[in-house]
Amino acid sequence: MANPLLDVDSITVRRGMSTVLDNLSIHVERGETVALLGRNGSGKSTLLEACARLLPIESGSIHHDKVSVVRPDGARSVSPVVVGVTLQKNGAMGSETVQEHLESAMSAAGATTDLLPFLEGFNLSHRRSDAMAQLSQGQARKVAVLAGLLPAFVASTPALVLLDEPSTGLDTNARAQLIEWMEQLRSSGHGLLVSTHDQEVLDACTDAFEIQGDSKRLETDSTTPPNHTKMVSTTPCKKEQGGTFGVRHQLRTQAWLTHNGVAGLLTLGLLVVLGDVNAALSSTQSLGLVLAPAMAIGLSGEAMVNLGREERTHDWRRAVGLSTPHSSMLPLLLGSIFTAMASQAIVGEAPINHVMLGGLLSIGVAHSMRYLQHSVDRLARPNAVFVGLLTPVMLLPYALLIDWLG
């Protein structure tokens, strides 16, 4: 007998000081659609996010197929199956077009297909090239639902689909289309776990699981799981990389200039105001001033982190197996340019070693800040904590570096 696509064994999940899920077990087989039921706040979204490897667990285990993907020690493993996810937030950055977001979702499965039939099914074909920020809430939700379903449609093996209230905000026709697609995926051998309050969606599920104290299976459809079959013609593709995504949207939104460039420009302006002070400085002090704009650029952090917080873009990408967006080599370019200008202003020339050092400093600090930003993302005030940690974490190593180089 094949392993379940999803096997949750006796997990306990805490959020803050509260235990949301306690010793809960559930599994999803191939060819099953399991509905999660329960009052608001009972833990349906928490369970889905834990299954998507987004939340830590206190005890128990979560397996995708036969691989343990979340463990109590905090370790996470890459899922061996294709995972499609729709969270309560839509997961798309405002500067993405509808087509770009759906292609990103499919790239997680390593294949693409013609989007037109799916867009027409949700009456979105005329919005294909529009930015997500230009859509209504209902249209944006349709795109988020499609992004959760499409990886399974193009997958070459049975996929796991996790949907959190997918029918919320959908009109009657769109809800009927959603149910039809869910049934197509189930009958083709995929497994679906769906949080819902919608009776129509519930009626389309093969099983229901209520999260209420001692969780229990309400009813079971004992039909034999179908063999996996592909429903659409596909074309192989590579997973979209976080750097490719990040650079595209940094250039599109000019966030790299308004977020990092302004910090470098302000620092450079202060150096210019100081005038000709190089004669009174030691070589170490002079180098510290030359590299100050590059350091400021890096210390500003990663603009893509802030851009992706509103709709939980980073969480969605992690859940489906895509790398988180980042600025790639842009800080290197920006740091080199500002170091050259600072060196010219202070020293009267721009030695190539200074320019290269400034670029390396910017990219190293910027990506370090990105990891720090992501590490505080789940806190109530992540930006405040990030700034509080900023000075002791990076300024002391900067001073030590300048002293060593000087």
CB 342 within 8 A of CB 292: yes
Identify whether residues 187 and 261 lie together within a single domain: no
Q: What is the dihedral of CA 73, 75, 79, 83, to 10 degrees?
A: 80
* pLDDT of 324 strictly over 60: yes
pLDDT in tens, 29-84: 999 999 999 888 889 999 999 999 999 999 999 999 989 999 998 888 999 999 99
Identify whether residues 193 and 276 lie together within a single domain: no
Please, which pLDDT band fits residue 137 given cuts at 50, 70 and 90? very high
Q: Mean pLDDT over residues 239-263, rounded?
A: 91
- For residue 100, being part of any structural domain is answered with yes
Identify whether residues 333 and 291 lie together within a single domain: yes
- For residue 96, being part of any structural domain is answered with yes
Full domain range(s) for residue 259? 242-405
Of these ranges, 111-120, 220-229, 290-299, the one predicted with the greatest mean pLDDT is: 111-120
* pLDDT of 170 strictly over 70: yes
| Percent share of the chain, pLDDT over 90 | 64
* pLDDT of 214 strictly over 50: no
Please, which pLDDT band fits residue 406 given cuts at 50, 70 and 90? low
* pLDDT of 2 strictly over 60: yes
pLDDT in tens, 70-113: 999 888 899 999 999 999 999 999 999 999 999 999 999 999 99
Identify whether residues 311 and 339 lie together within a single domain: yes
- Asked which of 236, 263, 282 is the last residue of a domain, the reply is 236
pTM for the complete prediction?
A: 0.88
- For residue 1, being part of any structural domain is answered with no
Q: How many structural domains are present in the chain?
A: 2
Identify whether residues 268 and 224 lie together within a single domain: no
